Structure 1
């Protein structure tokens, strides 16, 4: 998640049917799982196709060996009108490593995977959505991509959310702005 920026609810509902091109790392985030229920994304803008950065692409390719060939699970997905429900056969990308079942909620992911792995790694607790925040902050700090691209990649309707929630500048990670200005101004 740290190299892709999805919401936790989107990551746990990602299915192999959403992987457009595994080699190129193109995935479609089109549903989320909230309180044990699957629903299409809250807004049309949240439903998006993204091209993964190399570390995320490689992790997805490794995960394919573990879960891509599992049998689909038929789940009920609520449409955006909050009334229409459709049954969808899905092969989920991420599974509980103990039970081999798809994660049934973000709480179960937190208790069964996230906390134990942070503890084993000696990392103080932080919520899994920190991965999303870190992804956005790192993209912003590089200055390499426009705000609009970041908003689109993360499923936001505008750049305002990016500025408001993720706009922390990380000096040590950023480019040499003085050097860039001196070069641009021919100083």
Structure 2
């Protein structure tokens, strides 16, 4: 039976799981209220252990024991499959999914893992769960993909190509891994992702930015100033902490992001970067520092937690656009706006790419460059003027014309 002990003034849980003694230190002070709260957590843990549904990492994600039990679960599952199937029979898709997810758990962020699990449970497993991995054919996969386009679960529009590709990606990874592991040819060979229609970005003009910042709620003016002039992603600015704001060097250190109300590692290594503060951004931070003195997050809620971006979008962003008579656009367009304004001002593309967290300038030119002429009026007229000045006035004589002969 689990015990609740006190160690250095903080409460500790002492229990046994799979033959191992587990002692986990908590951040709870040793008070009657905290003991009562921890007692309920312990009761839930004991119930899940009894039912066989307890996952150590769900309760103690940073514990070394979590890694130990993850590895133990993989070994037990692999041994069970080996005993059940022998050398000739391979696991079903449902069984292999359990192995695969256990192995991928250490690689993925929790939010990504939950997205994959949701797609597998909603689409892949209902179709393939009981089929052995080596019995799934290319025809099965193509037929499955065609059914996604007319998904009967959806009462409105069918799934878009982007969503279908996201559903097919874990299926491809599963079958390719199974084929490599059990030495059979992957049925996914030769199947390409669906072509996705290019979606144009819709950045705001500088005049629209000024209009928005002049009319937005005062308590969100600094927030949107930083969004418009830094190109930060929603999760990056909502998870921005004062420890990552260097006012002396005028830099924003992008190190963490908020996903599903949890602080986590940035989207990828390239997303970790230092963003230069322009003067409006620097001034916005000065004002915000006075407003949130002592708080952890630069743009946190009243109770000190990160902003809930859905609430901000619904209660502040969209009502403001309607009030100003502007086309409704997602807040992510503030990031696109920063990119187009930087390009229009003549900043180095390499510098802009670093500010955006891109590893190269390729995406920059592919996505944003068409907006530069609209913003700077450098629309080829300079080349026309060059032709008019040089090509017309300095036209060489026609080849048939004799040297020194004047044109008629």
Q: TM-score, normalised by structure 2?
A: 0.36
Equivalent residues of 1:34, 1:105 under 8 A apart: no
Q: Which residue of 2 aligns with 1:11?
A: 237
Structure 1 counterpart SS, 2:257: strand
For the aligned residue pairs, the C-alpha RMSD in angstroms reads 2.6
Q: Which residue of 2 aligns with 1:82?
A: none
Structure 1 counterpart SS, 2:371: coil
Cα shift at 1:157: 1.4
Cα shift at 1:178: 4.6
C-alpha spacing 1:181/1:3, structure 2 compared with 1 (3 Å): farther
Structure 2 counterpart SS, 1:10: helix
Structure 2 counterpart SS, 1:167: helix
Counterpart CA distance in 2 for 1:175 and 1:53 is 24
- Aligned match of 2:317 in 107, 111, 114? 114
Cα shift at 1:159: 1.2
Cα shift at 1:140: 1.6
Q: Which residue of 1 aligns with 2:337?
A: 134
What pairs up with 1:1-187 in 2 under 5 angstroms? 1-20=227-246, 22-70=247-295, 91-96=296-301, 99=302, 101-142=304-345, 144-174=346-376, 176=378, 178-179=381-382
Equivalent residues of 1:103, 1:109 under 8 A apart: no
Gaps of 5+ in 2: 1-226, 391-408
Counterpart CA distance in 2 for 1:100 and 1:120 is 29
Counterpart CA distance in 2 for 1:34 and 1:150 is 25
How many pairs are equivalent?
161
**What does the per-residue CA deviation read over 1:123-157, in whole Å, with 9 as the maximum and x for residues that have no partner?**
34211111110110121223x22211111001111
The higher-RCO structure (CA 8 Å, 6+ apart) is 1
Gaps of 5+ in 1: 71-90
**What does the per-residue CA deviation read over 1:64-122, in whole Å, with 9 as the maximum and x for residues that have no partner?**
1111323xxxxxxxxxxxxxxxxxxxx100134xx454334322332243234434444
Counterpart CA distance in 2 for 1:109 and 1:182 is 48
Counterpart CA distance in 1 for 2:291 and 2:322 is 24
Cα shift at 1:46: 0.7
Instruction: Indicate the structure with greater strand content.
Output: 1
Counterpart CA distance in 2 for 1:140 and 1:146 is 8
